[in-house]
Homo-oligomer: A and B are copies of this chain.
Amino acid sequence: MREVEVRALVMDPTQNMPVLLLRDPQSKKVVPVWIGQPEATSIAMIMQQREFPRPLAHDLIKAILKSLGGDLDMIVIDSIQDSTYFATLYVRDHTGKTHEIDARPSDSIAIALRLGSPIYVSDEVFHVAAVEMPTEDDGDQNEDRFRAFVESEMKLADFKRFVSEGGV
C-alpha cells in the first residue's frame, strides 16, 4: 500500500470522461482513475480552492462527520475488477473505533480532499494500473512535460483512452 497525491484532473476526450491522476511520490508513477462528471466537479472545486454557492453531497459528508464527532482516517483504493476500481473509507467514530465503508474512488477522493485525509492505493491496484510519468524537477518545463506526458505516454501505455489536456 502506498500513499498517493492527486496530481491532476484531466479530460479524456475519447470517452468524454474526466480522469484523475494519482501520483506516487516515490516511484513517480501515476494511477489514472476515470470518474463521473459530478464527482469531477466536486473534486475540481476543492483542488482550485473554490466553493459552490450551495453545499455539494461531499460537503454534507464532511459536515455530518464533524457533527457526529467522527473523522476520516484514510481512504484506500484497494482493488480493481473489470476496469472498475473499488475503494474503502476508514471512518473513525467518537470512541476511536474505525468503520470500513465500501465506496467509489471518486467519492472517496472528493471526501478525503475535504478532510485532509491521506489517500492510499493498494499494491494490487498499483501494479495493475500505474504508468510512468516524467520527473518534475525541472522548473518551468513542468507543465509542458506534463502535457506531453498525458498526450503520449498514456496512449503508449495502451489505456485505449487519450488524455489531451489539463483542467476540467
Bound form: Cα–Cα A117–B5 in Å: 38
Bound form: Cα–Cα A102–B39 in Å: 20
How many A residues have CB within 8 A of the partner chain?
A: 32
Bound form: Cα–Cα A93–B69 in Å: 8
Bound form: Cα–Cα A59–B38 in Å: 15
- Within A42-70, the residues touching B (CB, 8 Å) are 53-58, 60-61, 63-65, 67-70
A84 within 8 A of B: yes
Bound form: Cα–Cα A39–B55 in Å: 13
Docked-complex contact A101 and B64, CB < 8 angstroms:
yes
A139 shortest CB reach to chain B, Å: 39
A133 within 8 A of B: no
A104 within 8 A of B: yes
A46 shortest CB reach to chain B, Å: 14
Given the complex, which residues of B lie within 8 Å of A60, measured CB to CB?
61, 89, 101, 103, 107, 111
Q: Which of A56, A57, A93 has the most CB of B within 10 A?
A: A57
Of all chain B residues, the one with the shortest Cβ separation from A104 is B54
A102 shortest CB reach to chain B, Å: 6
A88 shortest CB reach to chain B, Å: 11
Bound form: Cα–Cα A85–B63 in Å: 19
A99 within 8 A of B: yes
Docked-complex contact B57 and A61, CB < 8 angstroms:
yes
Docked-complex contact A57 and B54, CB < 8 angstroms:
no
A150 shortest CB reach to chain B, Å: 26
A94 within 8 A of B: yes
